[in-house]
């Protein structure tokens, strides 16, 4: 199984890393390194994290890392990293699962 990072995810991550680097560059580098390691571990257990609160698709999952949510989708032969956002402030969510789901 391969992991693909979408352009949207990459752009969001760059913004986050730049924000962290304003305070301390090494913290930004450390954040990126640990995040990549956690994402890469999805290959072994793609359904490890809970179904996404922001999607009705059973294959879309929410992984938390520090104060961020990383949304990803599991396909038969790949995992697509969709986006990263502050878990308290999701941006441009178009589909929101109701609490009764």
Half-sphere exposure of 56 (CA within 13 A, CB side): 7
Q: How many domains does the chain have?
A: 1
In a domain, 93, yes or no: no
pLDDT at 94: 46
In a domain, 96, yes or no: no
In a domain, 100, yes or no: no
CATH code of the domain containing 74: 3.30.2310.20
pTM of the predicted model as reported, rounded to 2 decimal places: 0.83
In a domain, 14, yes or no: yes
What beta strand segments (E) does 1-101 contain?
2-5, 60-65, 68-74, 78-86
Half-sphere exposure of 90 (CA within 13 A, CB side): 16
Structure tokens at 15: 């913004």
In a domain, 60, yes or no: yes
Tens-level pLDDT at each residue, the chain (101 residues): 999 999 999 999 999 999 999 999 999 999 999 999 999 999 999 999 999 999 999 999 999 999 999 999 999 999 999 999 986 655 554 444 444 44
In a domain, 43, yes or no: yes
In a domain, 91, yes or no: no
Range of the domain at 56: 2-86
In a domain, 101, yes or no: no
């Amino acid at each position: 199984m391969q992991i693909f990072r979408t352009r949207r995810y990459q752009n969001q991550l760059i913004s986050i890393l730049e924000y962290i680097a304003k305070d301390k560059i090494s913290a930004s580098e450390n954040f990126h390194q640990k995040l990549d390691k956690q994402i890469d571990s999805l290959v072994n257990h793609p359904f490890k994290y809970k179904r996404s609160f922001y999607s009705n698709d059973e294959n879309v999952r929410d992984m938390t890392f520090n104060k961020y949510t990383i949304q990803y989708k599991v396909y038969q032969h790949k995992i697509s990293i969709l986006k990263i956002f502050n878990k308290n402030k999701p941006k441009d969510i178009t589909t929101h699962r109701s609490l009764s789901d």
